[in-house]
Amino acid sequence: MNTQLVEFLTQAILSLPTEERALLEAQLFANLPYPSHLELSHLTESSQTFDFLYDEPDL
């Protein structure tokens, strides 16, 4: 791993003005795909986030 490069890039990004940093973030994160339905269901099941619903009475 090139630690010096990572440190340099971190400092360069942190030194950007707010507008330029926002533009950089927009360009970096613009093409990230949304998770699929399968990935979302796996995530919710494995994280036990909605386990409290099992204690709710059926309507």
Range of the domain at 30: 3-55
| Confidence category of residue 55, pLDDT binned at 50, 70, 90 | confident
CA 13, 16, 3: angle at the middle one, nearest 5? 20
CA 27, 33, 36: angle at the middle one, nearest 5? 165
Asked if 7 contacts 15 with a C-beta cutoff of 8 angstroms, the reply is no
Please count the structural domains in the chain: 1
- pLDDT surpasses 80 at 59: no
How confident is the model at residue 38, as a pLDDT? 92
How far is Cα 19 from Cα 8, in angstroms, rounded to an integer?
A: 20
Q: What is the pLDDT of residues 5-52, one digit of tens each?
A: 999 999 999 999 999 999 999 998 888 888 889 999 898 889 988 888
How confident is the model at residue 2, as a pLDDT? 93
How confident is the model at residue 14, as a pLDDT? 95
